[in-house]
Amino acid sequence: MFAGLVGLASLATVSRPGVGLLALGVVMGVGLLMAWAFAVPRRIVPRVPDALLDGLPSDRDRLEVTEANAKLRNEVRTTVLQALGGLAVLAGAVLAFQQLTEDRQQANATRELTLQGQASERFTRAIDQLGSDRREVQLGGIYGLERIAQQAPDNRLAVTEVLVAYLRRRVPTPAKPPPDDSPVKGLRVRASDAQAVLTVLGRRQVAQDDPPLDLAALDLRRADLRRADLRFAELLLADFRRADLSGAALTEADLGGADLGGADVAGADLSGAILVGVDLGNADLTGADLSGARIRGVLFAGGTKYVADLRGANLGGTNLRGMDLRETHLEGAIADQHTTWPDGFDWRRAGVRTITIP
């Protein structure tokens, strides 16, 4: 057993220095205990003195006393050796557990490095797919990046940056506005890859310390952003300044805190959308449908064009002073004491209900 422990310790010292040092310490301790096991019986059960043996009446008595003494010493030695055997087994178990723990840690580290390498390889492959001339390959790259962000959270922000950069290259706002009478196809038809990017961005996981989602000055006419969550972090703003969202489907989208200053949202469907704290200064909302939207704390100042449909919208705390609401539908809209109306506008006649916010 002792030789086996020595061999295990030597092997462990070569392959696992930490485990090996522990093993050598254990082996040295067991060796000392074994040496002590042979010395202890002599101290606990010393040999019968010759003077005592000489005083016994017969050789038979002397033999019986000597045999009894030796038997007792052997029993003590056997007991001590059994205890040491148990300690040796326990020490071997401890060494095996320690080595198993280190092996598991090394296997986990290797697995993590493998996963990181695979994620990097997949990331590079997805980037290459984005540069393809074939639309199906581009879409594969976009959804591949989404999967990478889900499975390897360390790459999540890099994926977002790549997708936003792709949008900037793919659908920038044209330098020359198209004619008013030119028909505009839906973004899914006009640029299905750009629509796919918006879909992925609209359902990504958002963390508190994420950087701004900069979608400013993009041509997103008739994009489908229904139920999209385009916030990028609490109390921070998504940037849609000067973006063209005319005719976009933003039904029930969460745009909380977004900056839509100067954006073209004409004819967009924002019904049921969350627009809390949104900046719509100088935005064109002509014909936009904001029925049932939550518009609390929205900034409409600075030449914002009028909204055609605000039926059922929550206008609590919203500044509408600079708006032309004469042709806007406001039936069932909700306002509070903090809502500001244009001078001379009769909001009661328009069908607005009021509530009081403490």
Question: In sequence order, what E strands does the chain have?
Answer: 334-335, 353-354
* Digit-coded pLDDT (tens) for 55-69: 777 877 777 777 777
- DSSP H helix total and E strand total for the chain: 8, 2
At position 90, the amino acid (one-letter code) is L
> Is the pLDDT confidence value at 255 over 50?
yes
Quick check: pTM over 0.85? Answer: no
Distances (CA, A) of 47 to 35, 41, 44, 71, 101: 19, 10, 10, 11, 49
Average pLDDT, integer, range 83-91: 76
Contacts of 101 (CB under 8 A, 6+ apart): none
Q: Which of 53-57, 165-169, 221-225 has the lowest mean pLDDT?
A: 53-57
Q: Which helix (H) or strand (E) holds 149?
A: helix 135-151
Q: Which helix (H) or strand (E) holds 2?
A: helix 2-15
Q: Residue-wise over 239-265: b if at least 16 C-beta within 10 A, else e?
A: bbbbbbbbbbbbbbbbbbbbbbbbbbb
Where does residue 358 rank: exposed (0-12), middle (13-18), buried (19+ CB within 10 A)? exposed
Q: Residue ranges per domain, the chain?
A: 2-124
Q: Where does the pLDDT of residue 38 fall: very low under 50, low under 70, confident under 90, or very high at 90 and above?
A: low
In this predicted model, which residue has the larger pLDDT, 113 or 294?
A: 294
CA distance 306 to 326: 9
Q: What angle do CA 17, 81, 65 make, to 5 degrees?
A: 155
> Is the pLDDT confidence value at 234 over 50?
no
> Is the pLDDT confidence value at 223 over 70?
yes
Q: What is the per-residue pLDDT for 235?
A: 36
pLDDT, the chain, mean: 78
Contact 326, 347 (CB under 8 A): no
Spell out the SS3 assignment of 287-318: CCECCCCECCCCECCCCCCCCCECCCCECCCC
